[in-house]
Amino acid sequence: MRKVLAFSLVFFFVMMSASTSVAKPAVETSNGPVFGGQHADINNQSNQTAKISVLPAVAEDFTATWCTNCVKVEHALDELEVEGLLQKYEFHVNPDLDESGFGSVDITQHLDARYGAESPPLVAINGTIKKHGSLPESDSLVNDYRSMMVSPLDLGEAYSSFMWTPSTDNMGIINWNLDADLSAYPEATLSVNAWIVEQSADFDGGSNGQGTYFDLVRQITDLGSNPQGTANITIPTAHDGDDLEVHLVYLLNMPVVEEPLDEKECLLPEGCEDETKAIPGFGVMITLLAGFSAALVARRV
C-alpha cells in the first residue's frame, strides 16, 4: 500500500510541475503610433528640429521593482538603446503595488488606456505593436524587439521642432511644432505630451535585485491636441540626484474599443509568472489522487 501511495504522490507532483512555458507573440495594438522623443535636461535650454523617421523608436516598458523577469526585458531594450535604435521609457506600476514610489496613478491609466491592464513585463514599440512576457519568439528578445521596430509609421516626411527653456527651479517652458501628414489615421486624435524622465534612481527594496533603475517616466503632462504650441511645465521632485529630463512625445489615439474581459490580466506581484500556462486538468488530478487514497483506505479496511 505504501508503494502505491508513494507512486500516487510522485505522479501528482510530476504532473503539477509539468507546466509548459510558451512565448507570447508580438501583436498589433488598436492604437495609432507613439513617436518623437526629443529631449533636454531640465536645467539646460535646448532648441532642436528633427525628422521623425531618423529619431529612435519609442519603447514603452511596463515594469515593476518586484518583477524578476522584467530584468531580462530591460537588458534587451538597453542593448538596442545603446545601438541608438530606440528610446526606452520605463513605466512602473501603481504605487499601491510597488513601494518604490516610481509609479503613479496617471502612469498606470496611460498604459491601461492604450495597451490594457496586463501584468508586467509588457513592451510596446512605437505604440502600434506590443509583446507581453519575457520569453523570446526568436533566438533572443533583442531580435524580437528589433523585428517589432520595422513597422512603418505612415507619417510622410514628418518633422518636429522642440524648444525647452528652464524658468525657475521647478518650472520650464516647452515649445513644439509638428509638421506631419496624419491622413493615414483619419479617426485618430493627436495628443502632445511632455514626459518628465528620471535617468536613474536607486531603490534597494526591489525584490528583482536591480537596485538602480533607469529611464523612469515620473510625470506625464498632456499638452493638448494642437500640433503647434507653448506651455508651462511644472517639474516634479527627483527621486534622488539631479538628472531629470523633459521629453516631447506625440501620440495618436484611436477610438476606444473595449477588449473582452477574459483577455485582461491582473496587476498583482503573483501575476509576474505570466508566461506559464495553467496546468490542464488540475482539478481532475486532485480528484484522481483523492480516489487513489480512498481506494487504499477501503482496501486496508
Decide if 263 contacts 116 (C-beta within 8 A).
yes
Return the CATH number of the domain spanning residue range 27-272: 3.40.30.10
Lowest mean pLDDT among 43-52, 239-248, 259-268: 259-268
91-125 pLDDT tens trace: 998 767 778 889 888 888 888 889 986 789 999 99
Which pTM was predicted? 0.78
pLDDT tens digits, 118-166: 789 999 999 999 999 999 999 999 999 999 998 889 998 999 999 999 9
| Residue with more model confidence, 293 or 64 | 64
C-alpha neighbours within 13 Å on the C-beta side of residue 109 = 7
pLDDT tens-digit series, residues 25-71: 999 998 899 999 999 999 999 999 999 999 999 999 999 999 999 99
The residue ranges of every structural domain in the chain are 2-16+280-300, 27-272
The amino acid present at 246, given as its one-letter code, is: V
pLDDT on residue 257: 58
pLDDT value, residue 16: 34
Instruction: Tell me how crowded residue 194 is: count the other CB atoms within 10 A of its CB.
Output: 22
Q: Mean pLDDT across the stretch 203-230?
A: 94
When the pLDDT of each residue in the chain is averaged and rounded to a whole number, the result is: 82
Determine the pLDDT at residue 282: 32
Sign (positive/negative) of CA torsion 221, 215, 36, 178?
A: positive
